[in-house]
Amino acid sequence: MLPISLHGRITDHRVSALALCCEEKGVGYCLLDDSITESKTGRPLLTHQGQSLTEPLAALYYLNEGMPGPDLMPDSPWSRALVLQLCQRLLASHPPEASEIPEWCTLPLPSEVGFVVDDHLTLADLSLFAWSTACGITVLEGPMDLWWAAMRQRESVKAIWGPN
C-alpha cells in the first residue's frame, strides 16, 4: 500500500490533527511541506493511492474508517454526531485564535476518564489538541487540565511534538 501523504506544515491545526490520527491508528505517513508553492484554495490535505481530499473532516473520516487500528469514533449515533460537530468547528480553514477557545472547553468533561466526548479517545480529542497547539496554548485550566496533561503523555503527541 502506498503511504499516506499529508500536505502542509505540522503547525497547521488541520495537518497536525491528521498526523495525530495516523499516529493513533499506527499508519505510516509522510509530511510534504508543499504549502509554500500551492494555493490554499483546493489544496489537498491528504493524498493516498492517487486520490486527494481537501477537507480536513473528510480526511479524518477516511483515516478512521479506511485504515486499520483503533476506532476513533464513539459507538452511539449521538456521540458520533457530537464528534463530527466539534471537529467541523475546530478544523475550520482559518487559523485559530487563542481567544476563540470554545465555551465547551470550560465545561466538565462528559467522560469520567477525561475524554472530550466518549469514554475513549476520539477524533474530537485529536482535533482539539491540534487546534489548541496551533493557538499556542500550553496548558488549559479548569476541567480540561487533566485532559491536557493526559494528551501530552500520548505516544502520538510525543511523536509529533516531542516529549514535554
Q: Are 83 and 156 in the same domain?
A: yes
Q: CB neighbours of 43 closer than 8 A, spacing ≥ 6?
A: 7, 8, 34, 35, 54
| SS3 at position 13 | helix
Q: Are 13 and 53 in the same domain?
A: yes
**31: enclosing H helix or E strand:** strand 29-32
Under-70 pLDDT residues of the chain: 1-2, 35-42, 93-113, 139-143, 164
Q: Are 86 and 56 in the same domain?
A: no
Backbone angles phi, psi at 30, to 5 degrees: -125, 145
Burial class (CB in 10 A: 0-12, 13-18, 19+), 10: middle
Q: Which three cell numbers stand for residue 32?
A: 510534504
Residue 143, pLDDT score: 65
Q: Are 49 and 102 in the same domain?
A: no
Q: CA angle 44-68-147, nearest 5°?
A: 80
Residue 37, pLDDT score: 43
Q: Are 61 and 101 in the same domain?
A: no
**46: enclosing H helix or E strand:** strand 46-48
Q: What is the DSSP string of 78-94?
A: HHHHHHHHHHHHHT-SS
Residue 110, pLDDT score: 55
Q: Are 87 and 53 in the same domain?
A: no
Residue 126 lies in a domain: yes
Q: Which three cell numbers stand for residue 63?
A: 483515516
Q: Are 139 and 116 in the same domain?
A: yes
Residue 71 lies in a domain: no
Say how far apart CA 86 and CA 67 lie, in whole Å.
22
User: CA 87 → CA 33, 154, 162, distances in Å?
Assistant: 23, 19, 24
Residue 150, pLDDT score: 85
Q: What is the residue whose three cell numbers read 503547525?
A: 11
Q: Are 24 and 88 in the same domain?
A: no
Residue 39, pLDDT score: 44
Q: Per the structure, how many domains does the chain have?
A: 2
- Domain boundary residue among 18, 46, 66? 66
Residue 160, pLDDT score: 92
Question: In this structure, are residues 147 and 105 in contact, taking their beta carbons and an 8 Å threshold?
Answer: no
- Domain boundary residue among 47, 66, 85? 66
Residue 72 lies in a domain: no
Domain hosting 134: range is 77-161
β-strands 29-32, 4-7 pairing: parallel
Residue 112, pLDDT score: 55
